[in-house]
Amino acid sequence: MSAVASYPILPAELFDETLDHLWDDPQALRACSLACRSWTPTTRLHLFRTVRLTSEASCTQLSSLISSTPAISRCVRKLTISAQYSGVGADDRAMEDDSWVNASAEIARAVGVHGRVNTLALSRLRWGSLAQDTRDAYEAVFKSVKTLLLFEVRFHASADVLQFLSAFPNLEELYFHAVSWDHESPAPTPSDSASDWLSTQPQSITADKMHLTYLFLDPRSSPTLVTEWILSHPSEQKLRTIQLCWREIDNTKSIGDLLKASGSSLERLQVEFPSGIAEEAVLHNHVSLVHNTSLRSLSFGGLDVTVDTSRTFLSNYLFPWVTLMLSDLQSPFLRDITFELETPDAAGLQVLDWARIDAELSKREFAGLTLRFYVNCGSCTRGSKTEEAIRAEITTRLPGFENRGTLRVSCI
């Protein structure tokens, strides 16, 4: 009787590592799943880790898969619900084609039971227009979500936004992009703040602690509403990264309060004030960085020298709030400062307060700092005289800093 040939048996960990390298190749993962039954759990995890629903058909397909193989629902980590626009209404507002989202209710119930969805993305839908049964189904999903991305989501009233956000007890990262609401909710007190509204709500809404570490607010949303909501959770303000574009020129105190509340937890800050800052805010230093003693990276975006709001009448220089914020820097950990400027030519840069900028950044504690300028000079081509003039203008204006740090200028 001939001996049966023996083959070396590779450790299971080696197979898993190989399959992990195929995480972004669905076709290869499906082939591996068909090739070996023992590989199915790993391939299934990668295939269904990220689920994107874009139509009723996609909801039906996934529901059928979960019904036949319930283990799939345990694999979902990121769930995206993305509707589209179907046209423009009589009020010139885009109309969301989001009625099909109700078909995702069963999926939400299935994945919510396991508490493993850590990222939820919603786009182009009206939350208040969904069936109550659908909204209830998603509440179980909310409890495990750590990263929430809202893109062009519309609510009925501002209070609905606060109630929605307060349903995420473990939220760590919030992306708030072009979120809107049709009506302002009546204020429970004359101050009309988010903290006042929360104080009137059931204890179940406000009992959970906040864990936010990352906040992104874009200009098409109301940053004040979200900022006041965060400030209403004083025990858990540990934001490490803030990216915001602030258009509410008459209410910059909220951002100052947020920076103060973040304190030494804040490590990265990116700010943009396209509408400028009111004279009173500059005089009273509403946007002080004095409390952010662990700041590692600071970025000033949207600095357009051609816009009238780039200055206030109390200053002969552009962007007086920038130099004011630089003078408040107290962090010994600061390693990177970025300026994003827009100017048609080098002459537009001459009215910045370069002497003060150089003096602030030449301090001994900022030795080794990298200072970056990204300058949008319109139609100028790479290597053109305009680009050379801009580089020369910035370089010659910062002689003190050049002796202590690294200066990089890029024209885009």
Helix (H) or strand (E) holding 14: helix 12-20
Those residues with Cβ within 8 angstroms of residue 44's Cβ, 6 or more apart along the chain or in another chain: 33, 71, 72, 75
Write phi, then psi, for 243 (nearest 5 degrees).
-125, 120
Q: In the block, which residue shows the tokens 């002080």? A: 288
Tens-digit pLDDT string for the chain (412 aa): 555 556 667 777 777 787 777 778 888 888 888 888 888 888 888 889 999 999 999 999 999 999 999 999 999 999 999 999 888 776 777 888 899 999 999 999 999 999 999 999 999 999 999 999 999 999 999 999 999 999 999 999 999 999 999 999 999 999 999 999 988 877 544 444 555 545 555 444 444 556 889 999 987 887 788 888 888 876 556 899 999 988 776 678 888 888 988 999 999 999 998 777 777 777 777 889 999 999 999 999 988 887 765 555 556 677 888 888 999 999 999 999 999 999 888 888 888 899 999 999 999 889 999 999 999 987 665 667 888 899 999 999 999 999 999 999 998 8
Put simply, whether the predicted model's pTM sits higher than 0.75 gets the answer yes
**3-state secondary structure (DSSP) of residue 225:** helix
Instruction: Please classify residue 51 by burial: count the beta carbons closer than 10 Å to its beta carbon, then call 0-12 exposed, 13-18 middle and 19+ buried.
Output: buried
CA 375 to chain centre: 23
Helix (H) or strand (E) holding 304: strand 297-304
Those residues with Cβ within 8 angstroms of residue 136's Cβ, 6 or more apart along the chain or in another chain: none
Contact (Cβ atoms closer than 8 angstroms) between residue 248 and residue 224: yes
- Which letter does DSSP use for residue 178 in this model? S
**Amino acid found at 165:** L
Instruction: Please classify residue 228 by burial: count the beta carbons closer than 10 Å to its beta carbon, then call 0-12 exposed, 13-18 middle and 19+ buried.
Output: buried
What is the per-residue pLDDT for 222? 77
**3-state secondary structure (DSSP) of residue 245:** strand
What is the per-residue pLDDT for 401? 95
What is the per-residue pLDDT for 34? 84
Instruction: Please classify residue 243 by burial: count the beta carbons closer than 10 Å to its beta carbon, then call 0-12 exposed, 13-18 middle and 19+ buried.
Output: middle
Q: Helices in 328-373 by DSSP H: which ranges? A: 354-361
**Amino acid found at 72:** I
What is the per-residue pLDDT for 326? 94
What is the per-residue pLDDT for 131? 96
Question: Cα 242–268–121 angle (5° rounding)?
Answer: 45
Domains parsed from the chain with CATH numbers: 261-412 (3.80.10)
What is the per-residue pLDDT for 200? 52
- The whole-angstrom separation of Cα 18 and Cα 100 is 38
Contact (Cβ atoms closer than 8 angstroms) between residue 120 and residue 142: yes
